[in-house]
Amino acid sequence: MNTAAPSLTDEHPNRARAEWMGLLARARPAELAALLEKAQGLPGYVLLRGPETGLVMLRGRAGGGGAPFNLGEMTATRASVRDAEGRIGHATVAGRDEAHALVAARLDAALQDPARHGALKATILEPLAHSEEQRRAALARRAAATRVDFFALTTQR
Amino acid sequence: MAYVAVKGGERAIDAAHAWLAAERRGDTAVPELETAQIREQLGRAVDRVMAEGSLYDPDLAALAIKQAQGDLIEAGFLLRALRTTLPRFGVSLPIETETMRLARRISAIFKDLPGGQVLGPTYDYTHRLLDFSLAANGTQATAPEAEARDEAAPRVPDILGREGLLEADGASAAEPFDLTRAPLTFPASRDARLQGLARGDEGFLLGLGYSTQRGYGNNHPFVGELRVGEVDVEIVPPELGFSVCIGTVELTECQMVNQFAGSKTQPAQFTRGYGLAFGHAERRAMAMALVDRALRAEELGEARTAPAQDAEFVLSTCDNVEATGFVEHLKLPHYVDFQSELETIRRLRGNTGKPATSLPEAAG
């Protein structure tokens, strides 16, 4: 993997795909599975690779913003599929949940289909984005409750 | 000397391991611990095992803790062993801690910093009194909430750095050294040192960090910033060629600000030490930052006089998997080695011509 590749800019043609791949990877597997049950069925598929579990070396930066260093590894699981319509889907998700990686790869393929994209966006991606937003907002609210408001004591003589 | 294979002991070893399994389970009248309980309720132990096992996976760390009966060094060892069985898919883009979704963020050097002092879930300010209500299960606790302010929390080095008072992060385009792929050589570069410290034994790092405060390589530290929170992990899979997020991890970062360095040509600046750790691990991140700064002694023109400033000593000793392996191997049979020592000492004593009871003289 190439570490020099920049993050995607707004204009990048793959930005939308990178966004849904990230959303699927960060999803709670149980929630993703529940949403899928309600969605229209996904096309059949053949596995091209995996699902298989391996390691990703996490990198930090010296001082937080300087030269990269290897912090330690994390587990990750990846899968690639070709669906019945010939679309290739890929997924790499943190952790060791093979079902999660497989579903994410199948959805990645299906989401590239303009005929399916709209419905899947509404039934899967938007609810996932909503619950992620809620989790993050809850974290921010809990943090805000522990923010210190300093006040000066009145000098007493 | 050749190693000679001797058979025997299989039955005893099997029985010992079976007893271990029974002892691990403990009193069967008490419900068995689930790994999810360990993951959720013993989070600091999970974080330590992930750091020292150098593998971020809370479920695996919880399992390792259960298997090791809470022996955290043994648990870290189990994770290290597991990682050798897994293929490396690749490396992440360097994590940008500035984008961390913060649970905690404090600074000991600026009271009123942008983004504020956010205490998060902390043991600071607790009275360290045992809470007997926890002994009676069924604790219900909810975190209070308040309206979140939409206010950026810039990194403290960036605040000080704007005035040039603090040395910059520095940059390097070189591929970082990887301890898991190449043996450590000395002098070790800072990227290699940071990797070694990140997976070093917390107790050892704490002791070394403390030793600098006690005067053995003092560098007058202040906690510039400590932040704990969640960050996204991005990789660039070769089949895609663009970066995608694969999940999130919780990290703790410590920016230690230390006393100045400067010269006739370079105005005085605060220097820095850096700590970064898996999970919520403030003591580890702070100790790492202290030792990182101490190990920069030579680079900053300081005399290397203390253990914490000696990279070879620190990095060759801080790994508790290596350390426990070498210390604990002494338990394994050394019958032949010892036999040769016995023969040597008997020969030495025989040469003196003194009776076997006069040990002190014979030893000379």
10 Å Cβ neighbour count for B68?
Answer: 17
Q: What is the sign, positive or negative, of the torsion defined by CA atoms of B72, B77, B80, B82?
A: negative
Closest Cα in chain A, distance from residue B302 (Å)? 20
Contacting residues of B for A60, CB less than 8 Å apart: 94-95, 97, 194, 198, 276
**ipTM of predicted complex:** 0.90
| Beta carbons of B52 and B199 less than 8 angstroms apart | yes
Closest Cα in chain B, distance from residue A67 (Å)? 5
| Beta carbons of A69 and B195 less than 8 angstroms apart | yes
Contacting residues of B for A59, CB less than 8 Å apart: 91-95, 176
Q: So what's the pLDDT on residue B140?
A: 81
CB of B39 within 8 Å of any CB in chain A? no
Interface test with A, best of B223, B244, B278 (most A CBs within 10 A): B244
Rounded Cα distance between B123 and B127, Å, is 9
* Phi, psi (deg, nearest 5) at residue B246: -110, -5
CB pair distance less than 8 Å for A64 and B148: no
Q: What percent of chain B has pLDDT over 90?
A: 71
List, in sequence order, every residue forming a beta bridge with B255; answer none if it has no partner. Answer: B225, B274
Per-residue DSSP letter, A122: I
Q: Which of A31, A26, A14, A45 is nearest to A107 (CA)?
A: A45
CB of B62 within 8 Å of any CB in chain A? no
> Length of chain B, please?
364
How high does pLDDT run on average in chain A? 90
Residue B356's pLDDT band (cuts 50, 70, 90): low
Out of A3, A63, A146, the one facing B169 most closely (by C-beta) is A63
Across A11-25, A73-87, B30-44, least confident range: A11-25
Residue B7 has pLDDT above 90, yes or no: no
CB pair distance less than 8 Å for B237 and A142: no
Contacting residues of A for B249, CB less than 8 Å apart: 58, 74, 94
Q: Show the tokens assigned to A24.
A: 């699927």
Residue A142 has pLDDT above 70, yes or no: yes
Residue A11's pLDDT band (cuts 50, 70, 90): low
Q: So what's the pLDDT on residue B242?
A: 93
> Length of chain A, please?
157
Q: So what's the pLDDT on residue B39?
A: 97
Residue B278 CA to its chain's centroid (Å): 9
Rounded Cα distance between B325 and B183, Å, is 17
CB pair distance less than 8 Å for A75 and B180: no
Residue B22 has pLDDT above 60, yes or no: yes
Q: Which of B101, B123, B114 is nearest to B227 (CA)?
A: B101
Rounded to two decimals, the pTM is 0.91
Residue B81 has pLDDT above 90, yes or no: yes
Q: What would the 3-class secondary structure string for chain B be?
A: CCCCCCCCCHHHHHHHHHHHHHHHHCCCCCCCCCHHHHHHHCHHHHHHHHHHHCEECHHHHHHHHHHCCCCHHHHHHHHHHHHCCCCEEEEECCCCHHHCEEEEEECCCCCCCCCCCECCCCCCCCCCCCCHHHHCCCCCCCCCCCCCCCCCCCCHHHHHHCCCCECCCCCCCCCCCCCCCCCCCCCCCHHHHHHHHHCCCHHHHHHHHHHHHCCCCCCCCEEEEEEEEEEEEEECCCCCCCCEEEEEEEEEEEEEEEEEECCCCCCCEEEEEEEEEECCCHHHHHHHHHHHHHCCCCCCCCCCCCHHHCHHHHHHHCCHHHHHHHHHHHHCCCHHHHHHHHHHHHHHHHHHCCCCCCHHHHHC
